[in-house]
Amino acid sequence: MSIKIQPEAIASLRGFEMPERLGFGTVMAPVMFRARFQDGRWSDGELLPYGPLALDPAAKVLHYAQSCFEGLKAYRYGDEGIGLFRPERNAARMAHSAQRLCMPPVPESLFMDAVNVVVAHCAGLVPGNSGESLYVRPFLMGTQPDLSVTASRAYEFYVIASPSEAYHPGNMRLWVEREDSRAAVGGTGDAKVGGNYAASLQSISRLKARGYDQSLWLNPGNRHTVDELSGMNFFAVMDGALHTPALNGSILEGVTRESLLTLARDAGLEVHERAIDIDDLLQLVASGTCTEAFACGTAAIVSPISELGDGEQRYRLAQAPGPVAMQLRTALLDIQEGRAEDRFGWMHLVQVASL
């Protein structure tokens, strides 16, 4: 695919000044990538100045939430430039998400070219301190203006990016969510689509009022085994072994999840992907058999969990942060930031574009 670099995009980049405070996902890079899908084919891509999208008020995405997205990070990678972490996994997951909502999957080559061109041109915006990154957000949406509940015939694919601080939510207190569900059986739980996130906002707002940070979602089918947090996968350490819910159709297949499992096995840890009953888990925390728990995701990498709240009961983890969480976090970040050898071939180097 050929990508047209608009001169205005280069001008935006040259004129951009990094704010002193970045936050996470709030400062946007001054360029974006766009490709359009119409009449069964993808257009050439363009790198444009970041700016408002012109969307028809009847566009399907605004009414029927026909959209999906990805999140990945670009890091300063040693002296070699900029590294992306396993972007081909995000490309594959976005194709899966798109198909679940009857959208044309973004071809892997288009996804990779788009992410590459944005990162290559935003290399100067990748912050340099450990844990900081350029957060990259590809998204796809149905744009056909038509109020019928049918799949759109027109789509737009964008990649935007946000220079971001390290995201450290600190020790998290989770609320065991026994009322709401994040996703349905045979629903969209294993796809990265907007509806999952919209549905989760009510639970988050309720638990914040109770002093908690995140919901721990149960499986919508059995209402008794742990699925995940909103946007992060769940891990627990029991008797020194690492346990995480097995993929079951309603859990998002996290890239960080899979990478931590690989690193844990590589370090000789005993690893179990299995159904974890919530009442068993709470009991094991209470008895001290489950010593630590943590969540993982692209943004925070690894976040220790200090407490699980269930109705009137509170279950405190003995170690937060615990040694396994910290060991895995360090191992992953060392690879991502080029301090450790990339033994699994996870890093994808981006050649910096001259502006």
Interface pick for a copy of itself out of 3, 11, 16, 25 (rule CB under 8 A): 25
CA–CA–CA angle 55, 59, 64 (5° rounding): 135
Q: Which is nearer to a copy of itself, 96 or 314 (CB)?
A: 96
3-state secondary structure labels for all residues of 194-211: HHHHHHHHHHHHHHHHCC
For position 55 contacting a copy of itself by CB under 8 A, the verdict is yes
* 8-state DSSP, 8: H
**Stretch in the footprint of a copy of itself (CB under 8 A) among 96-104, 236-244, 315-323, 340-348:** 96-104
Q: Residue 119's closest CA among 259, 44, 13? A: 13
For position 169 contacting a copy of itself by CB under 8 A, the verdict is no
CB atoms within 10 A of CB 44: 11
Tell me, residue by residue from 175 to 204, as one string, x for binding to a copy of itself by CB under 8 A and - for no binding: ----xxxxxxxxxx----xxxxxxxxxx-x
Handedness of CA 29, 91, 326, 209 (dihedral sign): positive
What minimum distance in Å lies between the beta carbon of 148 and a copy of itself?
A: 5
CA–CA–CA angle 2, 6, 7 (5° rounding): 135
DSSP string, 305-325: EEEEEETTEEEE-S-SS-HHH
What minimum distance in Å lies between the beta carbon of 51 and a copy of itself?
A: 8
Alpha-carbon separation of residue 59 from 21, 37, 145, 159 (angstroms): 35, 14, 4, 19
Q: Are 142 and 151 in contact (CB under 8 A)?
A: yes
For position 66 contacting a copy of itself by CB under 8 A, the verdict is yes
Cα(58)–Cα(150) distance, integer angstroms: 13
Q: Which is nearer to a copy of itself, 148 or 313 (CB)?
A: 148
H-state helical runs in 128-277: 194-209, 255-266
Tell me, residue by residue from 279 to 318, as one string, x for binding to a copy of itself by CB under 8 A and - for no binding: ----------------------------------------
Q: Which is nearer to a copy of itself, 182 or 243 (CB)?
A: 182
For position 40 contacting a copy of itself by CB under 8 A, the verdict is no
158: part of which helix (H) or strand (E)? strand 155-164
What minimum distance in Å lies between the beta carbon of 55 and a copy of itself?
A: 5
Interface pick for a copy of itself out of 64, 289, 309, 319 (rule CB under 8 A): 64
Q: Which residues, numbered 223-262, are part of the site for a copy of itself (CB under 8 A)?
A: 223, 230-231
What minimum distance in Å lies between the beta carbon of 92 and a copy of itself?
A: 18
Interface pick for a copy of itself out of 101, 172, 207, 296 (rule CB under 8 A): 101
For position 162 contacting a copy of itself by CB under 8 A, the verdict is yes
159: left (phi over 0), alpha (psi -120 to 50) or beta: beta
Contacts of 136 (CB under 8 A, 6+ apart): 71, 72, 73, 74, 84, 115, 118, 119, 159, 160, 161
For position 56 contacting a copy of itself by CB under 8 A, the verdict is yes
For position 325 contacting a copy of itself by CB under 8 A, the verdict is no
Q: Which is nearer to a copy of itself, 24 or 315 (CB)?
A: 24
Residues engaged in binding a copy of itself (CB under 8 A): 24-26, 28, 32, 50-58, 61-67, 69, 71, 100-102, 135, 137, 139, 141, 145-151, 158, 160, 162, 179-188, 193-202, 204-205, 220, 223, 230-231
